Structure 1
């Protein structure tokens, strides 16, 4: 499990795109206060002024808003599976502010320590889960590097469908499989090179459609 609750935002109204990681911004402020020891009001004002010189103030506000929004999303999702509001708020706070990076991997042991309702599984169940994952991996071609040139081969234009997510629903012993699929057009086209002033062949792509489908044939 990885945590998706610390997004990067762009600084608006600047000629360049400056990515802003939520936790990096809060980390700078906390470092200034806790490690450097800047606690006086004048020091904190200087910190804000320094940030405002590098980042549009509107983006700083958007960072805080995004953090609060993600905490709300986490609480809502947990509320579908848990009833204890205090534990829900505690977990939401940890996964939105306490894990420090987007790629932090939560193990089963970590999940239990977070008070998430995680069940232990035996070896047979673990093998079944891994077998199921490999089935999904085959359907979504996770082990095949994406290469539009190989999809075109000798053709100048091709259409391909990619299954990007799967969802299965079992009701009354009837299993339905839904796939989130993207239909993509891949084609060759000569594009004028601004330096060489001659057309050079390039491979271009255009997504035609992306949506969920019921797909019991996969």
Structure 2
């Protein structure tokens, strides 16, 4: 809990001679959260209370989210400090890695990982998930589209009729989604280039870094460990000493326990033997010593029920009556 972490936050600020801001988007299975623009006002609240400081430490745990929100958050923090360091206790993937690119230094534990920043496009026009509700769409990864084209060129040769390939692709993916994906590919390189201006990279090293993060890593699930980030990609990685590592790890363990990051969400386990039970599930955190704790909650009531899947056939089900889903400050 936040009250238990305050002492750890004080220790970390003393060790780094900085002001600490914590941002965690939980990746608990079936209850994932992502970086989103809804946190910009909350970041402003905490930063206004921190005020300006020579160094701000952003403690970041995330599997990714909205790239423009990540871009905006980094630029917002930089209005309050000339030196931004990002502390990665475990995962800072996708849009989280993009945020790291905007830091002067990145502190990575031995288990910490970054990832590619190739974006996915998800709009109402995206392909639907077969058999799922109408609003369930398949994200379209920008590099997957490029991979399809390159695969066709390798199999069919450079003389492959691109018009036919694009017509085939547009039958599966709406042309406006294809256009959005193309624009997103250029945009992510532009954002990364601007953020990396806060670091020192020779032109050829910068281009190699952008190519790897945006397209050459082979898969969006590829993970970049501390050694690769430092030695091969040339990012400004700092290895924590034993004292700093202990504080970083203890903070992570406490947050992981509160958000139950390693426990898959299972309505049956929440209900137990009851037919109905109210729930309150913490899913994400924004915290600082100056501003306290903001937690994103999902609240509601689970009810066992029966639904008719086909005439004469009833099946047990659990109805989720969600009544609250937003950020709440610890003072509320």
TM range (shorter): 0.7 to 0.9
1:1-218 equivalent positions in 2, closer than 5 A: 1-3=114-116, 5-7=118-120, 9=122, 12=125, 19=138, 20-33=140-153, 35-36=154-155, 38-40=157-159, 43-75=161-193, 82=199, 91-112=209-230, 113-170=232-289, 174=290, 176-197=292-313, 199-215=314-330
**Compared with structure 1, are the counterparts of its residues 31 and 146 closer, same or farther at alpha carbon in structure 2 (3 Å cutoff)?**
closer
Cα deviation 1:84-117 (Å, max 9, x = unaligned) = 7967776455322222322111111222232333
Gaps of 5+ in 1: none
Alpha carbons 1:184, 1:208 under 8 Å: kept: yes
**Compared with structure 1, are the counterparts of its residues 175 and 12 closer, same or farther at alpha carbon in structure 2 (3 Å cutoff)?**
closer
- Structure 1 residue 129: deviation in Å? 1.9
Distance in structure 2 (CA, Å) of the matches to 1:82 and 1:108: 17
Alpha carbons 1:6, 1:101 under 8 Å: kept: no
Cα deviation 1:134-167 (Å, max 9, x = unaligned) = 1111111123332212322343322211111222
Max Rg structure = 1
Higher relative contact order (CA 8 A, sep 6+): 2
Alpha carbons 2:296, 2:326 under 8 Å: kept: yes
- Structure 1 residue 29: deviation in Å? 1.5
What do you get for the CA RMSD once the two structures are aligned? 3.5
Distance in structure 2 (CA, Å) of the matches to 1:181 and 1:16: 27
Alpha carbons 2:118, 2:141 under 8 Å: kept: no
Distance in structure 2 (CA, Å) of the matches to 1:193 and 1:51: 35
Alpha carbons 1:111, 1:118 under 8 Å: kept: yes
Cα deviation 1:186-217 (Å, max 9, x = unaligned) = 112232332325x4442111332222223379
TM-score (normalised: structure 1): 0.74
What is the count of residue pairs matched by the alignment? Answer: 210
- Structure 1 residue 15: deviation in Å? 7.7
Distance in structure 2 (CA, Å) of the matches to 1:148 and 1:54: 35
Distance in structure 1 (CA, Å) of the matches to 2:175 and 2:181: 10
TM-score (normalised: structure 2): 0.52
